[in-house]
Structure 1
Amino acid sequence: MPSFSIAPEEATVAALIAAYGKANIPQESVKLFRLMPDLGIARTALSYNAVLKAILCRGREAMARRIYNAMIADAVTPDLSTYNTLIWGFGLCKKMEAALRVFGDMKDHGVTPDVTTYNTLLNAWVRAGDLESARKVFDEMPGAGFAQNSVSYNVMIKGYVEAGKVEEAVGLFSEMGEKGLRLSEKTFAALMPGLCDDEGRVVEARKAMDDMVERRLTPKDKSVFLRLVTTLCRAGDLDGALDVHQKSGQFKHVLVDPRQYGVLMESLCAGGKCDGAVEVMDELLEKGTLLSPKSPVLEGPAYNPVIEYLCSNGNTSKAETFFRQLMKKGVDDKAAFNSLIRGHAKEGVPEAAQEILAIMTRRGVRTDPESHALLVDSFLKKNEPADAKTALDSMMEQGHVPSPSLFMSVMVVLFNGGRVQTASRVMKSMIEKGVTENMDMAHKILEALFMRGHVEEAIGRVNLMVENGCLPDLDKMLIALCENDKVMEAHKLADFALDRDFDVSFSTYDRVLEALYTEEKTLPAYSMLCKIKNKGGVVDQKGCDALMDSLKAGGYSKQADILSRILAENASSTSKRGKRVAMGA
């Protein structure tokens, strides 16, 4: 303005003071107000009123008193706006004594209050929570020459509702209609919370909402719809709740609260109307309300019932679409995750279930054993044993112990598919978890390992079984190996059993010796024979003689002499052929 040689006027400065006040920067308002004399601008009630309002907006009532006193000292006459501003500001700070003092000062200075003054004082009493004093002012207004207007009624209705005196609020609302006063958005905003939260007044609440729709009044407080829907659902009036929900979408500039959808979905599912809940969910997805940054996060009871319903009825993909929107809002709900896994598994889409499981693992969400079991079973049904085994491993990594039947199912499929070593690893996990059922399958796996030459692995599994109290039938296994010409495999198993004093019949050992003789495995037979004799076992003398001849023929004279001495030393302590000797491992 100086660059254009334009001197600022009081109105200009007052407007700037008011702007700083609205921007919540009252210190700048005060600074500019104090600068006015330096700018050569006289201060009148206009600028005083502006600075008083700016500082009272921030609750600085002590400073407001000082400026008001300075106004009187400067011989600036307060006007009606000054007093109304002070009453409003002191009421905002709940300083009712100061507000009443200002109200008295008006008359002393010859300023006549107007309807705004009374409404401002009325609002101050309501804000202070003194409805009795507020009602006194309200009733005094006609006697002072001011009929109560819509603002007066709105203030009182709001006060009664906030105090829980809904009956009085409804009475004033009816009185407004009788007087023909305008029912505004603020009227309904004041009344609706009281009607919406009372199950006994839902009929009145719905009628009030119909009036709002008819008058095209959009409530400032959008939560009234959520509150009314919640009350109707709590009262069991699901049709009424749906009707209110549909009408709430007819108001302009109203984004329906996602929690309103949640209340409806939860209540409809609880009331057996799950298909209706799915329709509500479809509407929520279509509008994209969940994805709004400002939208609140839904709670588990709001979405879990509809997700479970969809997953149990062949529509898991839709449930996942819904839940993925919730995940974007930071939702990590164990029940929903597990419902999705179960749903995909039952529908024969284990890959999708596995993807959900991977998300759970990354987010550290606890899984259910049932979900894992269904995933394993789903892979088995698709004849994908390797994936079934991976899913089984994941189940154990999560701290769950698969059932004996689940272990059995995976082992059988792997075994029948020729994946013996993989089946063996499953068997190992099973025994380590303390599951000792289904040992028939374990025996088959052990025998197959020996037959395929995986001797060390097989013996390791035998040792594991013994350590866990489930000794396999070694007699049966040794005989089977001999019958299938797996002589060296039988020898290693027999040697292992002898070294650990396992309970094996000497007749079985004889069978292994016989196989070794037949295959001309001289040194293994010699080693085994020595161990048998040291255990007190009896062997065929002809076989021993033949073995000594073979040892000598092979240049093993020392071994032949040792064997001869062992036989001679034990001749007096022979045992009956086939005797089983219990030896401690």
Structure 2
Amino acid sequence: MYSRARLSSIFRTTASSASPPRAPHLALAAATERVRSGTFGPEDARHLLDELRRRGTPVPERALNGFLAALARAPPSTACRDGPALAVTFFNAMSGAAGRRVLSLTFCTYGILMDCCTRARRPDLAPAFFGQLLRTGLGVDVITFSNLLKGLCEAKRTDDALDVLLHRMPELGCVPNVVSYSILLKSFCDNRDSRRALELLRRMAEKGSGCSPNVVSYSTVIDGFFKEGEVDKGCDLINEMMQQGISPDLVTYNSSIDALCKARAMDKAEAVLRQMVRKGVHPDNWSYNNLIFAYSARGEWNEAVRIFKEMTRRGLLPDIATWNSLMASLCKHGKIKEARDVFDSIATKGQEPDTVSYLILLDGYATEGCFVDMTDLFNLMLGDGVAPDVRIFNVLIKGYAKCGMLDRAMIIFSEMRHQGAKPDVVTYLTVIAAHCRMAKMDDAMEIFNEMIDQGVAPSIATYQCLIQGFCTHGGLLKAKELVFEMMSKGMRPDIVHLNSIINSLCKEGRVVDAQDIFDLLVSIGLHPDVFAYSSLVDGYCLVGKMEKALRVFDAMVSAGIEPDVAVYGTLVNGYCKIGRIDDGLSVFREMVHKGIKPSTIAYNIVLDGLFQAGRTVSAKERFHEMIESGISVGTDTYNTVLHGLCKNNSFDEAIGLFKKLQAMNVKIDIITINIMIAVMFKTRSAEGAKYLFASIPASGLVPSVETYDLMMTNLIKEGLPEEADDVFSSMENAGFDPNSRLLNHVVRALLEKHEIVRAGTYLSKIDERNFSLEDSTTMLLVDLFTSRGTCQEQIKYLPEKYHFLAGAGSS
């Protein structure tokens, strides 16, 4: 924008023109035409000013006002970037001592100038022109006041504008009209003060205000409430408006639909759509687009398609944004074929897919791993003359990289430059992340350095990706270097990201590395939070280093961070796992003493620890304490108690508890059934076990592989191998594939029962699935081949590949 000082300097540099001056109205008319054609600039304004001064005759007010008004509305052009500013500067130069004698001004002139101030983003100058107008005695009208009100509102002087509207205008004999009020209403709403806008609207509706609100006045305030999230107030105002006999227009209805969609009140939004149709207001593209966009964003693609079809039935042609929104919703929910149908429909409706259309569908194909379709669509895009931009290439690279097809991703990465698309920070991040996932850290760093050489500034996410990669793959020193490098560039490491690294390392048992990152976090001035401390506590507990876990716990308390129930539970679990149940109970009691209510998980840990230690009486006491304390007792708790009773040979109590659960209709899961099947077999009740197994479908449960494992191995031990075979067949018929553990268990059970031929059948199943023999299975086979018992005749029925074991026992 040209500054006033710069434009004024142009007007100070006047020079005589060889051509005789034209009549003022002709000179201004010619200048006005050039303004409208976009060829009038500051230099032309200087010549015009010089010509008018040399002529020395009064400038016709109508011609001057027309010229200034044209400048006020002139769009930016090569000749003049800011017409309104040029108009103000021209007038100021013209009204100087030398030009004052040729000016013929009216209040309209000042109104135009005030409008120019607002358009030139100098609303603070508008009141000065209004003051000049008052001093001239030319009078004022409502339009002039409207321009003043706009200037004051744009200058954030809304209170002054309100004073002018309610007091100054009446004092000067000017009655505000609906436009005057609307300027203030819009200003209040733009400043998120719809409450004051409503007060002014109420005042406007009062008798004696001089004018009544119209649909624009109401719609302005309604939209203001909607934008502030006050949907109910906006809807109430619509009802009030209709009670006043003012019918909502298309703008009002669209504003309402948009707000209700954003508030996720889709039923109400559709009700508004139906209402507007009943009232004879025809919905437009925007009415339907709001609904389609909202349903798409919510993932309700069926609803989005329904609205889309209704839109086309009403004869409205969807714009490309509508098509794209619908495709995006379908792709998001894996409906890639339907999305392609929508894409193909675009051309049949006389429109052309844009880059975003291709982008959405390419991303859909990439997400679904449909790389042939993705490549075909990309080639179609090139054939249609649509130039792929960096976003398109990013989608292709991301698709291949996500599926581990790094070579293809790198081919696209190289190709995009030949296509004139420069990789951006997203491109580099995608490629770097792919290399990090595949532990190719040297290559990742090479690409990172190339990124910097190409002038693409790494983002925080880029550094975080590399830091995570080096931490995961053993490059802790390099990870630290990158942390300090990003800090030197003004990027502060994110504690959430470092917490994630600490947590991942701890879960992998790399607690020493996790401690290193924790110490780094502290050294760079970040304050560890409860998540960082609890991750370390969990890590040390996982590897059985309880003293160090306790030191971290104490440091956490010293730092003023109150441990939560999860941290206490982790410590209790750590002690219980290494058999230090009393220390675990001590921590549990401390938690209760601190006023922290134990969670269900915390009680489950204690119960499991006590049962593991054989302290059944204490476990049962804790269980009753848990119930009496009102702690939620779920399936996991009951399973812990049932398993604990079973482990400690309290079978009758386990059966009694199970019957109580059934009588109380307590929800159980397949783990509960598995525990009780094991109990039944241990109590020599094979029929009870078979009954439980048969009742699984009626309970709404699905057997697990462990269920089949329990049934088969125990039936074999009970001397019922044929029934075990039947269970295996039922498993396969149900679509379950046996795992290595089950097959090894079955083979061992059969070998122990001297069912050699049948064991051979299951050994073949192990071979078919490329499973390995467990050590205990191998040892049983070795014993079989080296023994001199009654089974020797049957050994030949075992698969040939195992016959080499015959010499293993003597070697």
Bigger RCO of structures 1 and 2 (CA < 8 A, at least 6 apart): 1
